Amino acid sequence: MKETTAQEVEQKVNELTILDVREESETAAGMIPGALNIPLGQILTSLDKLDQNKEYTVVCRSGNRSSLACEWLNSKGFKVTNMNGGMMAWTGETV
């Protein structure tokens, strides 16, 4: 599985398609600008909201759920990269 750091994502944030798999209650505290939120439990039933021609950088709170989401999405043919450390490692802007 491809992985990246929060610092690398911050440097390229405007070039990336970010998928936040946290619950809505968690995203209320702040999300990376432009991120798409689909909670982990809804990923496999929301594949129609994702584009297989795009590469997604997947984010959660600490990196565990996003790693699982990456495994699932990769098995369905999606191009994904896990952001290690999740939002706990994010120091950039949030909305």
Active site residues: 60
Q: By C-alpha distance, which of 66, 87, 90, 46 is closest to 2? A: 66
Residues 53, 67: Cα–Cα separation, whole Å:
20
**Residue 41, token pair as written in the block:** 């439990």
Q: Who contacts 51 (Cβ-Cβ below 8 Å, separation ≥6)?
A: none
